[in-house]
Chain A
Amino acid sequence: MDRREILAERPVERGRGFMPGVSINPSRTLFTAGLTGRNPDGAVAAGGMAAQTRRTFERLQPILAKAGAGFDNVVKQLVYVTDLDAYNSVGRPERAKFFGATRAASTGLVVRRLADPALLIEVELVVDVPGSPQGKPLLEKYNIENHGGNFHQGVIVNGGRLVYLAGQVANNVDNSVAGAGDWRRQAEKVYDNIGHLLQAAGGTPGSVVKETTWVLSIDSWRAASVPVRSGFYDGDLPASTLVEIPGLARPEFLVEIEVIAAVA
């Protein structure tokens, strides 16, 4: 807790819906998966960007509430949209209804595709959760909905130390690319790198709190990666976001995965 809002005291910062920076003294920190505007039956909410934005935040609310938090505890938001004009005109006002006067640190990105081509928005949050971590397990991973996906909707870190890994790509130690054009091989190499780094940090795959997967093709990624990813996490899944983008640092890279983990 002990939230501080950081302003660099520039005119550009005034009157905007977000803060340049927010700092906390981390004690209980919630990372949500990327949430989208799906209805309880899994179908994408009808009604375009406004309806999807409303559903997205409606779904985030109980994930925060389960941790004992609300939107006024949000530290950071990451908003992915596929249609910027629609978000600016009808998405933003819907978002504002949930946040009131609270201003979080924020990043907004326009991406090529989300998990389902009909999805227009996806939002993930980092939340400063009230209460003491004492007596609680290091990680609390939970779902609010029976979504059937291979991820948790929320992961709370109670105390411990956060680990931030660089985005991992399929590069060998000699700087060559492992598996040019080969989704399966790149998935194996990326998770191999992540595994080694987690070990060096004193963790395991189960220590991963949040995973963001950036791919050039969601369809190709899904077709190739499922057994690799399932084998890596072995059921102990993080909160996650999957996004399709047009490019990575080298043209051979098909996927980049970044993870946040926590160790005691």
Chain B
Amino acid sequence: MAFTTIATPAAKPVANYKMGTRMAGGRLLYISGQVAWDGSGNVVGKGDVGAQATQTFQNLRGVLQAAGGDLRDLMKITTYITRIEDFPAVAKARSEVFQGELPASTLIVVKSLFHPDFLIEVEGVAAV
């Protein structure tokens, strides 16, 4: 692992994620906000945030793998959703894709993403 985990008893996470990570080596990889596209650019799971979340996290993994890494190399992810009521479905899909503890994480509800069909977008920073 090219990073270490930052933790303190004085500040606890709201859910199953790391509170911080510190890079320890390797290359710094910035991953664009990923959405629920298939390889041809079709939206997967239009109107279905759970299906979109699964596809989005798989796409995130695809970029990591193309850089020679995988989900375990993520230092930080930011999840943007458009409706707070979608959060439970997103959290479920996320915990199915990520085995164990999540990277440092931020969740934000935005007004919309860059296409009205997209319900979730996830960007990441990794040390690979």
Contact = CB atoms under 8 A, between A and B. Distances in A.
Given A163-B6, A245-B109, A21 B104 contact: no
Interface in A206-264: 214, 245-251, 256, 258, 263
B38 to A, nearest CB: 7
Interface residues of B, number: 59
Given A23-B128, A24-B28, A162 B22 contact: yes
A19 B85 CA distance: 31
A246 B112 CA distance: 10
B55 to A, nearest CB: 12
Given A162-B22, A164-B20, A175-B14, A8 B65 contact: yes
A107 B12 CA distance: 28
B1 interface: no
Interface string A125-158: 0100000000000000000000000000000000
A35 to B, nearest CB: 18
B30 A76 contact: yes
A110 interface: yes
A109 B32 CA distance: 12
Contact of A12 (B7, B20, B22, B37): B37
A152 B39 CA distance: 40
A6 interface: yes
A166 B32 contact: no
B67 A23 contact: yes
16 contacts: A8-B59, A11-B41, A12-B38, A12-B39, A20-B62, A21-B66, A23-B27, A23-B28, A109-B114, A161-B24, A162-B23, A164-B125, A167-B105, A175-B14, A197-B11, A201-B6
